[in-house]
């Protein structure tokens, strides 16, 4: 959770992660005033909502695409994508991303760029 990274301001690094079912992802607080909260996940998957400035550990139990954000920096597209195994819900994720991106003030293509890495 960074104020500035390789993809610009207000980013998670990396912004796209490929993982296996059962893997654990740890969101590490590098800069202050960030959190990690899922807003899209495969059916049957448990979402998460970390508190401000809190490291969050998530075990990915279902195959598919997960998308998450930093709640206070959503308008700046502080978002990320995790692909677990096969991207079984990629079409639904792309639809959600198109709708989600309409509410962003900047970096409107960031989420789509991350999803384009899913296979």
**Binding site: residue ranges?**
34, 70, 73, 78
**Cα 61 to Cα 5: distance, rounded to the nearest angstrom:** 29
Q: How far is CA 23 from CA 60, 85, 105, in A?
A: 6, 10, 33
Q: Is residue 36 a contact partner of residue 78, using CB atoms and an 8 Å limit? A: no
Any idea which residue has 């994508």 for tokens? 81
Beta bridge partners of 40: 67
Q: Which residues are annotated as a binding site for Cu cation?
A: 34, 70, 73, 78
């Amino acid at each position: 959770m960074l104020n500035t990274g390789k993809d610009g301001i207000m980013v998670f690094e990396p912004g796209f992660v490929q993982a296996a079912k059962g893997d654990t992802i740890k969101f590490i607080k590098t800069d202050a005033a960030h959190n990690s909260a899922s807003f899209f996940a495969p059916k049957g998957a448990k979402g998460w909502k970390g508190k401000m400035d809190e490291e969050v550990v998530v075990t990915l139990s279902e195959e598919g695409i997960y998308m998450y954000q930093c709640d206070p920096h959503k308008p700046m597209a502080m978002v990320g994508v995790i692909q677990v195994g096969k991207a079984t819900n990629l079409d639904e994720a792309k639809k959600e991303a198109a709708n989600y991106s309409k509410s962003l003030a900047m970096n409107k293509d960031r989420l789509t760029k991350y999803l384009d890495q899913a296979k």
